[in-house]
């Protein structure tokens, strides 16, 4: 667990004969464990808000193009570190991208989906994109990662559940990220689906209704 990683390697850092190379490795592990712990705490807080019914829809003016650019640059270092290509695929731009929706929930959904895609992809690419379909904004995150077996596809949105279960699963995590994604999509009045094939990758697609921002009809 994250706390075990923090406490365990802090104890190792007390060793008097520890060389600088090992010390830097241990400090990195403590930092990584701290980030994991923070992510877990934030996920538990979000789930608690959802269960208490206090996670409400908060509409505001949003520039979808800016949101896509932000997530692209935010996750680029992680994708480069893994040798995975991060790509912005087709997307709405300009005035068309100015809409009214819940920015916080949209950011959270995209962040969880992109983070998962990079985590479970060791080679190839992760594509993110969006388009308008009727009165809905449709986003997708596609990867060439491990994929999900057919008997686990529906389970990935359940709380404290991951696509790969058991002690030998290669990735850590609380198993709350996708359940938060599903809950936020539901609160926004949308829908989400996943298509996946083991060894070939996955595509998560979610659709949310939006309101047109009047500014999109005027050139700036």
Average pLDDT over residues 180-197: 92
Q: What pLDDT does 196 receive?
A: 92
What is the pTM (predicted TM-score) of this model?
0.77
Which tens digit of pLDDT belongs to each residue from 84-138?
Answer: 999 999 999 998 899 999 999 999 999 999 999 999 999 999 999 999 998 899 9
Checking if the pLDDT of 219 tops 50, the result is no
SS (H, E, C) the chain: CHHHHHHHHHHHCCCCCCCHHHHHHHHHHHHHHHHHHHHHHHHHHHHHHHHHCCCCCCCEEEEHHHHHHHHHHHHHHHHHHHCCEEEECCCCCHHHHEEEECHHHHHHHHHHHHHHHHHCCCCCEEEEEEEEECCEEEEEEEECCCCCCCCCCHHHHCCCCCCCCCCCCCCCCCCCHHHHHHHHHHHCCCEEEEEEECCCEEEEEEEEECEECHHHHCCC
Q: What pLDDT does 161 receive?
A: 58
Average pLDDT over residues 18-39: 85
Q: What pLDDT does 212 receive?
A: 76
Q: What pLDDT does 164 receive?
A: 52
Which tens digit of pLDDT belongs to each residue from 151-162?
Answer: 788 778 886 555
Average pLDDT over residues 44-61: 82
């Amino acid at each position: 667990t994250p706390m075990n990683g923090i406490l365990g390697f802090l104890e190792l850092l007390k060793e008097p004969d520890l060389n600088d190379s090992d010390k830097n490795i241990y400090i990195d592990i403590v930092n990584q464990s701290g980030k994991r712990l923070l992510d877990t705490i934030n996920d538990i807080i979000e789930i608690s808000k959802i269960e208490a019914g206090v996670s409400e829809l908060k509409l505001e003016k949003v520039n979808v193009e800016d949101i896509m650019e932000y997530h692209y640059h935010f996750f680029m270092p992680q994708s480069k570190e893994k040798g995975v290509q991060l790509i912005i695929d087709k997307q709405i731009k300009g005035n068309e991208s100015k809409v009214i929706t819940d920015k916080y929930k949209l950011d959270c959904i995209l962040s969880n989906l992109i983070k998962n895609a990079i985590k479970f992809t060791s080679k190839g690419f992760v594509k993110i994109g969006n388009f308008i379909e009727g009165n809905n904004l449709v986003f997708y995150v596609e990867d060439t990662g491990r994929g999900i077996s057919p008997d686990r596809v529906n389970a990935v949105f359940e709380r404290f559940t991951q696509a790969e279960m058991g002690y030998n699963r290669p990735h850590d995590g609380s198993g709350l990220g996708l359940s938060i994604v599903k809950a936020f999509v539901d609160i926004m009045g949308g829908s989400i689906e996943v298509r996946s094939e083991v060894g070939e990758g996955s595509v998560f697609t979610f659709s949310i209704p939006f309101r047109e921002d009047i500014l999109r009809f005027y050139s700036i």
